[in-house]
Structure 1
């Protein structure tokens, strides 16, 4: 992940005139003058593996949200600007939820899972999200019309969409999620209205009420009964909807300027996402599911979680500022509406026909087996598992005379190499054990 700055700012950084601000060990996208300490500029873009950042669930506006927790030091007109930034983020969350929940039925109710998963995998979800942002998709009763969005797809996809829409369980499925969606929309509308209330106590009371509604909505998307009844891809989509709702909850703390609560909730959400993704990975049962999960989980790890990490780092940084620094930051008065638009337009303007994550998966599928690829996904969220594999490989290599597989070399190896080597030695070890037992 790499923040981009204007050529002039970048040149200043290279010669030491400006310094990128770090918090929690990562850049927060702001530079300050090395000598005076004054805040100079914010980033004008962010790249992930040389591609513009393009998250699936987290609004890109959250890249700079944490910086604006300085409401006690700015004018009412500047607060109004910041509220516009918040509104844009809330609208983005609503769009993301609408896109994600529209595909749940196709995943959960289709009698041809392989085709259904192909129809709603990462590249299709990103295309739908882009169309929704550009107001090209109509939402009726909380759902995007499945037959409309897939009308130009190949015949087998159109057929399974038709089967799902006319499935007896489809109406019940939609009814349950629709009830939750209506409460979510009501909560978002209350938040939007609350931003206009002048009386502080009344405004905060509305924020509290909206937050309470959002907490209640969560259960409808990820109740244990629904999660147990669906596949790993279905679980992931339900979790993604829940993550969108939890971000809206965090926004309620943000606009109340509750710095510690925002940081705590962001930390909690990041950990929850990692845990729930590992649950999904462990429930994966087929290559069809894996080809859906790998690209999407990779995108969430490198894009969505990265934004949440930056958001938290910014909040923690603001909390660490002195009173004087807070005033200096507030005085900088970056135009938040302009910044929101800037961040939005600096995302990829077109969705690649094949996202890089899907290309990576295709390569892995040729060189690794099912369980190796699953473990490579888990490595993204549990580095300690990779370390355990390295120790095991080193022990087995030492016992079998593979002298080059020392700890230092293993630490530099790719995740694919480590996972493949682990299973190579594990199969070999188990075979030797079986032969020994047969001789006893």
Structure 2
């Protein structure tokens, strides 16, 4: 008896007596179809992104302000359509942890382009709001990636990557937002003075020298940092440390949890004041130490009650 589901017959059920190889081939075909569907969606999204960047470039050459703003608004609409595809929950749910991070990074590039359109339109308040939203989105996206991480190999990949996102990308966005807010707070007279200021050539040379020095670094500092703490932490603790980076309230909750459990066991030095001064490594390790201990005691109590 064959059942029809969503208008289709289950081929696996129909061919259940044909052997394992046939069933595996059906699974492989299904995976190939899903991959090609995703591929077509991303081709569409990337094409729209390219079209939007062309519109932005054209807009910067338009002298009429109203016409320029219309062109930038059209570009922003096209970018939003591209972003919707990259943020599709359906596509993300069928992607590996590393793949999810790369998909999110693509969406962040589009988010940055959207923020740029507000800058080019001379809308500092809208730009500041968008940058705040952008920062929160990066934090939430990376938390989703951390939560979906299941294996040590995945953790080895995402830990240095997310650490760098926190130390560089989020820091850069915070600097941009603070600069926008600062400019927005200046009186018109100060803005005119700033327009006449030229960058010091010596400072530019210093930046170039710094970039040339960075080129010779063989291993990123985030990778070195991870390799060091990996020897001192359990995988659950490492994931917790990443979560602390992206959401400080999670660290505060962990500090409260550790201090309460430490008090129950007579560890007086593990109070809130000392925990606040401790590293993410220390707090995460202590959190999972008490977490495992609590789970073990609960399991023993269940076995005794049985």
The two structures have a TM-score, normalised by structure 1, of 0.58
The 2-side partners of 1:206 and 1:344 are apart by: 35
2:53 corresponds to 1:188:
yes
Are 2:98 and 2:158, in contact at CA under 8 Å, matched by a contact in 1? yes
1:171-250 residue pairs with structure 2 within 5 A?
173-250=38-115
Deviation, structure 1 residue 351: 5.8
Q: Match for residue 281 of structure 1?
A: 146
- Flag the 1:213–1:381 CA change in 2: closer, same or farther, 3 A: same
2:175 corresponds to 1:305:
no
In the alignment, which of 258, 264, 268 is matched to residue 403 of structure 1?
268
The 1-side partners of 2:145 and 2:188 are apart by: 45
Q: Match for residue 363 of structure 1?
A: 228
State which structure, 1 or 2, has the greater radius of gyration over its C-alpha atoms: 2
Which is bigger in relative contact order (C-alpha 8 A, separation at least 6)? 1
Deviation, structure 1 residue 174: 4.1
Deviation, structure 1 residue 186: 1.5
Are 2:38 and 2:91, in contact at CA under 8 Å, matched by a contact in 1? no
Deviation, structure 1 residue 381: 1.4
Q: Which runs of 4+ in 1 moved over 6 A?
A: 167-170, 338-342
The 1-side partners of 2:180 and 2:61 are apart by: 24
Deviation, structure 1 residue 375: 0.4
Structure that is richer in strand per residue: 1
Deviation, structure 1 residue 178: 2.2
Structure that is richer in helix per residue: 2
1:90-129 residue pairs with structure 2 within 5 A?
none
1:408-423 residue pairs with structure 2 within 5 A?
408-423=273-288
The 2-side partners of 1:432 and 1:220 are apart by: 46
In the alignment, which of 229, 237, 247 is matched to residue 372 of structure 1?
237
The 1-side partners of 2:216 and 2:55 are apart by: 33
- Flag the 1:431–1:349 CA change in 2: closer, same or farther, 3 A: closer
- Flag the 1:374–1:249 CA change in 2: closer, same or farther, 3 A: same
2:241 corresponds to 1:384:
no
The 2-side partners of 1:189 and 1:343 are apart by: 29
**SS of the residue aligned with 2:196?**
helix
2:184 corresponds to 1:332:
no
- Flag the 1:221–1:351 CA change in 2: closer, same or farther, 3 A: farther
Deviation, structure 1 residue 404: 2.1
- Flag the 1:180–1:436 CA change in 2: closer, same or farther, 3 A: closer
Greater shift after overlay, 343-352 or 265-274?
Answer: 343-352
Q: Match for residue 83 of structure 1?
A: none
Q: Match for residue 316 of structure 1?
A: 181
- Flag the 1:172–1:378 CA change in 2: closer, same or farther, 3 A: same
CA RMSD after TM alignment: 2.4
2:265 corresponds to 1:265:
no
- Flag the 1:182–1:341 CA change in 2: closer, same or farther, 3 A: farther
Q: Match for residue 152 of structure 1?
A: none
The 1-side partners of 2:200 and 2:268 are apart by: 59
2:253 corresponds to 1:394:
no
What is the CA deviation profile of residues 409-429 of structure 1, one whole-angstrom value per residue up to 9, with x for unaligned ones?
211111111111111112222
List runs of 5+ in structure 1 lacking aligned partners.
1-166
